[in-house]
Amino acid sequence: MENNPTWTPVVALALQGEDGRWLMHRRPDEKHHGGLWEFPGGKVETGENPPSALVREIREELGIVIDSRFLEPAGFAQEPAGARPAPIVILLYTCREWQGEPQALEGGAVGWFTVREAGELDKPPLDIALAATLFEKMPD
């Protein structure tokens, strides 16, 4: 049987600082959705489970170390069926403990935002959905 994936698994991180603000990553201008703000993360590679993929992606993208034991599932967002041959499904996790200082190692920028500020950022469609789910019950 032919290996024909029906979806593309992607993981993302909602990192919350001690002051309650949330880290968002601004995509490099030359990339798809360039200049928009997103929850950092990336594709789950063959042989990885979502938490291990997120640990790897965050190390590569932000230069920090997170422990999968501190990841809490927070929701998901998905492209509509037919959006592409294997539509993206983003699995969002929260984390409040890490080692290191987040940096935009792959370009773009990082910033810390309140719930209200994060809601006002220009984001790709799936990150809009993720933010709505994550922040809907939180105070501004």
More confident: 96 or 6: 96
Structural domain span for residue 108? 12-135
Overall pTM surpassing 0.75 (yes/no)? yes
pLDDT at 46: 93
26 within a domain of the structure (yes/no): yes
Tell whether the model's pLDDT for residue 14 goes beyond 60.
Answer: yes
The secondary structure of 27-93 as a DSSP string is PPTTSTTTT-EE--EEEPPTT--HHHHHHHHHHHHH--B--GGG-EEEEEEEPPTTSSSS-EEEEEE
**Rounded distance between C-alpha atoms, residue 71 and residue 120, angstroms:** 25
83 within a domain of the structure (yes/no): yes
Q: Average pLDDT for residues 86-109, to the nearest whole number?
A: 96
7 within a domain of the structure (yes/no): no
Which two structure tokens, joined as six digits, stand for 125?
């469609």
Q: What are phi and psi of 22, to 5 degrees?
A: -115, 140
Is 94 strand, coil or helix?
strand
CA angle, 50 as apex, 80 and 70 as ends, to 5°? 125
pLDDT at 30: 81
Q: Are strands 88-95 and 8-15 parallel, antiparallel or unpaired?
A: parallel
Tell whether the model's pLDDT for residue 1 goes beyond 70.
Answer: no
43-97 residue pLDDT tens:
999 999 999 999 999 999 999 999 999 999 999 999 988 888 889 999 999 999 9
Q: Average pLDDT for residues 12-33, to the nearest whole number?
A: 93
What is the domain count for the chain? 1
140 within a domain of the structure (yes/no): no
Tell whether the model's pLDDT for residue 3 goes beyond 80.
Answer: no
85 within a domain of the structure (yes/no): yes
2 within a domain of the structure (yes/no): no
1 within a domain of the structure (yes/no): no
Which two structure tokens, joined as six digits, stand for 48?
């990885």
CATH number of the domain bearing residue 59: 3.90.79.10
Tell whether the model's pLDDT for residue 129 goes beyond 60.
Answer: yes
SS3 labels along 102-127: CCCCCCCEEEEECHHHHHHCCCCHHH
4 within a domain of the structure (yes/no): no
8-state DSSP, 138? S
